[in-house]
Amino acid sequence: MRNPAPLRDTSEGHGAVTDPTTPWGPIPDEVSLLPLLRALHACYTEVQRAGARHIESLGLTPCRFDVLAALGDTAGMTVKELGEHALITKGTLLPVIASLEDKGLARRAKSTEDSRQTIVSLTSEGQALYQRTFLVHIDFMRSYLERLPLGHQEQLINLLGEVQSLFASPAGSGEAKSPAGKAPRR
């Protein structure tokens, strides 16, 4: 067995793939997606880290806060609807609901319209906790994001929506839609 050739030739500074046995041609650094993917990941990580620290300072876990935020100021919603509104995975949702129930912050009840459905709602204690924490956390996050000019915020919303839609469509389908439902600009 021969030793594999290095995947990147950095001696010329261009980082091209040099293994002639691969089916791919040279990939110049300027077309690499790694810088973009790293930037997206780093941004997401920092936003999550700052938000989680603040939520924890309010005495909540990020998952519990997320469910409180989704249910706050509502009459409740089905578990399915809550799964669509919450920013946590469906596998995490039921244990979080159970945890909030154990703390007296949420309750589950059968729907009066469809007995197959379970409605999750906040108790009065849960609603009070939501009112004490939700706007405080929004203001905390606003203190970061308002540093971006409004035009940049709008651009960022549109660009991130386009990126999200690209990953929501089958790879290579070219069927991505922008947040407004229009084909993205090329």
Of the listed ranges 11-25, 90-104, 142-156, the one predicted with least confidence: 11-25
- Per residue in 125-156, pLDDT tens? 999 999 999 999 999 999 999 999 999 999 99
- Per residue in 52-80, pLDDT tens? 999 999 999 999 999 999 999 999 999 99
pTM above 0.75, yes or no: no
- Per residue in 173-183, pLDDT tens? 656 554 554 44
The confidence band for 35, taking pLDDT boundaries of 50, 70 and 90, is confident
pLDDT of residue 26: 67
Give the domains, in start order, of the chain with CATH numbers: 59-123 (1.10.10.10)
The b-or-e profile of 7-42 (16+ CB within 10 A means b, else e) is eeeeeeeebebeeeeeeeeebeeeeeeeeeeeeeee
Which sign does the torsion angle of CA 144, 148, 150, 155 carry?
negative
